[in-house]
Amino acid sequence: MKSYRKELWYNVPGRRAFVNITPQVEACLRESDIREGLALVNAMHITSSVFINDDEDGLHHDYDEWLEGLAPHEPVGKYRHNRTGEDNADAHMKRQVMGREVVVAVSGGRFDFGPWEQIFYGEFDGGRAKRVLVKIIGE
């Protein structure tokens, strides 16, 4: 069994954004030289997500509005977590809706994607450098 590990760094200037990280994760797979196995791609931070969906700007706008409706940032004071001096309680919730990680099959040396699947980093508390972990195991 082979295994491969890499950290990818992202620094989103605003509070929230969705970044298509498929090219960087595919570069990891090529570097790993693994042809059959499983790839785990996860946010290493608890106010961000890794998820698979469509690379369409309108959808990302809709996700942002929808998540803000489900877990509003304001008023910051309504969250007990924010009494610790943070203002990111809403980001911890948005991340649970969108998920921490994806596991992707590796078949024939490629990610075994459906027709529109793309891997995204979802940032809900940006403004600093944060990491995504890529771990691939197989042969």
Q: Which residues bind its own copies (CB under 8 A)?
A: 1, 3, 5, 36-38, 40, 42-46, 51-54, 56-59, 61-63, 66, 70-71, 79-84, 89, 92-93, 95-105, 107, 112-117, 131, 133, 135, 137-139
Q: Is 102 exposed, middle or buried (0-12, 13-18, 19+ CB in 10 A)?
A: middle
Provide CB contacts within 8 A for 109, sequence distance 6+. 29, 34, 35
134: left (phi over 0), alpha (psi -120 to 50) or beta: beta
For residues 99 and 85, what is the distance between their CA atoms, to the nearest angstrom? Answer: 25
Task: Give min distance, CB of 84 to its own copies, in A.
Answer: 6
Q: At closest approach, how far in Å is the CB of 30 from its own copies?
A: 18
Query: Closest approach of Cβ 31 to its own copies, in Å?
Result: 16
First to last CA, the chain: 5
Q: Which is nearer to its own copies, 27 or 129 (CB)?
A: 129
Q: How far is the CB of 47 from its own copies (least distance, A)?
A: 9
Is the CB of 22 or the CB of 82 nearer to its own copies? 82
